[in-house]
A and B are shown apart, each in its own frame.
Chain A
């Protein structure tokens, strides 16, 4: 795009910068969490390059912590892969939901954009989509820089080894929960939303109590979605 003058930006870079402006607290949160993960991976014998490859290819924080936890103790690679799949199956819901707001983005971009759809990027994108359709620039501004931030910080953590302080000491482990609470508040539309999140929380507590692993996310999420579908009445649609 031809630059027509100082102070005028093309829509792509304007949206890209707006995405970065919304997501930058997450960059700060990703660095210590990824570095911590890198130290745990190094303790299990991962080289910095292996840690970086895993962060770049898997790119899903919670499941990476589980994978490192299971590493060496897992009975087989297939069990490990299946476990990771179960933890990450919530992304099916993320992608189905967010794709409805991607009508303004050329289709050839969609598969690549799904690759960088983390919990945090997705939550921020859903928040934006409450008020306006997503653009390619905004999506990339939110989601893309988080990816190298994550895998480079992982490699650095694995390189440094075990000397990093625990992020919990300064409450950083709570940063993601706090962000999800903030975004959750934006989805409040009245008592029905209350019913949805109560169903989700109750089922998540039960699932977390009675099943090991990450079933609580998908079971709690589906319970909330089911309540929303049940409460829907065609008359008001």
Chain B
């Protein structure tokens, strides 16, 4: 059972290094905004962060994976347009991706 709790030194070092790299990205956004008055063009830019980054994150799945994913994303988008509860939208996406993967 001892191998359940094995921690190799290099693995540990890599984990700590990657953890610090990741936390530094999360913390630096906070520190960058300290004392910054957000208005005008900067506000317009920051307001666009959620739609812009969300779109970029899903782009490979939606446009570069296959027809099933693209159609399922369109169905999900149509369902989301009606402002249905989040869970309903997610389930419609999961259901349609399974359906279209099966059909196509």
Contact = CB atoms under 8 A, between A and B. Distances in A.
A224 B45 CA distance: 9
A160 interface: no
A204 interface: yes
Given A58-B15, A96-B46, A171-B94, A89 B25 contact: yes
Interface stretch (A2-10, A12-20, A43-51): A43-51
A50 B27 contact: no
A60 B89 CA distance: 24
B7 interface: yes
Interface residues of A, number: 89
Provide the main secondary structure of the chain A interface. Answer: helix
A208 B28 contact: no
Contacts of A65: none
Q: In this complex, which of A126, A159, A220, A231 has the most chain B Cβ atoms within 10 angstroms of its Cβ? A: A220
B22 A94 contact: no
Given A58-B18, A81-B18, A49 B5 contact: yes
A201 B56 contact: yes
A127 B18 CA distance: 29
B29 A93 contact: yes
Nearest to A24: B87
Interface string A75-93: 0011011101100111111
Nearest to A92: B29
Interface string B15-42: 1111101111111111011000011111
Contact of A92 (B5, B28, B73): B28
Interface of A: 22, 25, 29, 46-50, 53-54, 57-60, 63, 67, 77-78, 80-82, 84-85, 88-97, 99-100, 110-111, 114-115, 117, 119, 123, 126, 159, 170-172, 174-175, 177-188, 193, 196-197, 199-201, 203-205, 208, 216-229, 231-232, 234, 237
Interface of B: 3-8, 10-19, 21-30, 32-33, 38-64, 69, 72-73, 76-77, 79-81, 83, 86-87, 89-90, 92-95, 97-98, 101
